[in-house]
Amino acid sequence: MGAASLYGAGPSAAAPAQPEKPLGLGTPATPEEIAGWDIDVRPDGMGLPPGKGTATQGEAIFLEQCAACHGDFAEGRDRWPVLAGGHGSLKADRPEKTIGSYWESASTVFDYVRRAMPFGNAQSLSNDELYAVTAFLLNMNDVIKDPEFELNQGNFTSIRMPNADGFYDDDRETTERKFWNAEACMKNCKTEVVVTGQAAILDVTPDSKSAPSVD
């Protein structure tokens, strides 16, 4: 077996002697300080601020603040993310993962737009604008059918996403169990070896439509 010796792989990878009592460092966070930074929204509605908006109102905001990258109908421009469409494509050879086809919870739309969008001008939308833009995106994905439906703090958690049941927790330790304690062949493991794929033959500088996406 390997000549590896485990320097520094002690019983606990991180901990020095843990103080029994707090060190008394840090200052109390005031309710005002917390309110200024606490922007997250959870699927059960925790964190939703007061506010309301319709898809029709959201469309006007979207055209002004979002459509330059994401398209007038949230269909995406150039390499910018596609936000609507792709329904039923998750088993396809080239799935299109959008809010409507893939996302598990509507709260994620609100949370993410609130903290990170518009790209380059984050945390600039008012709460009403956030409800309206969220309603518009859900309307473009046929999750909210009526563009005049008012999305608000009270009814937000009634929204159910099409792919809400599409996820399950990491199961590698069972479904990939065979990768543990697999026998490693060392001698005469195969007879013929053929090259089945070559980066140089592929030799693609992939284009904007077929290239993998990192966003």
For the segment 163-182, give every residue that binds other proteins (CB under 8 A).
166-172, 175-176, 179-182
| Interface positions, 185-214, toward other proteins (CB under 8 A) | 185-200, 202, 204-208, 211-214
Residue 41 · residue 130 · CB < 8 Å: no
- Interface size with other proteins, residues (CB under 8 A): 101
| Interface positions, 57-96, toward other proteins (CB under 8 A) | 69, 78-81, 90-91, 95
> CB pairs under 8 A, 24+ apart, for 45-49?
45/107, 45/153, 45/156, 45/157, 47/111, 48/107, 48/110, 48/153, 48/156, 49/127, 49/130, 49/153
| Interface positions, 104-163, toward other proteins (CB under 8 A) | 104-105, 107-108, 111-112, 115-116, 119-120, 122-123
Which range of residues in 16-24, 48-56, 128-136, 137-145 is near other proteins by CB under 8 A? 16-24
Which range of residues in 34-42, 50-58, 140-148, 150-158 is near other proteins by CB under 8 A? 34-42
Task: Please identify, using beta-carbon distances, which residue of 42 and 160 lies nearer to other proteins.
Answer: 42
Find the shortest distance in angstroms from Cβ 56 to other proteins: 25
Which range of residues in 1-9, 51-59, 131-139, 143-151 is near other proteins by CB under 8 A? 1-9
How many Cβ atoms sit within 10 Å of the Cβ of residue 127? 17
Which structure tokens are listed for 4? 């590896």
Q: What residues have CB less than 8 Å from 47, skipping those under 6 apart?
A: 38, 39, 40, 41, 111
11 binds other proteins per the rule CB under 8 A: no
The whole-angstrom separation of Cα 85 and Cα 76 is 10
Of 177, 103, 174, 111, nearest to 141 by C-alpha is 103
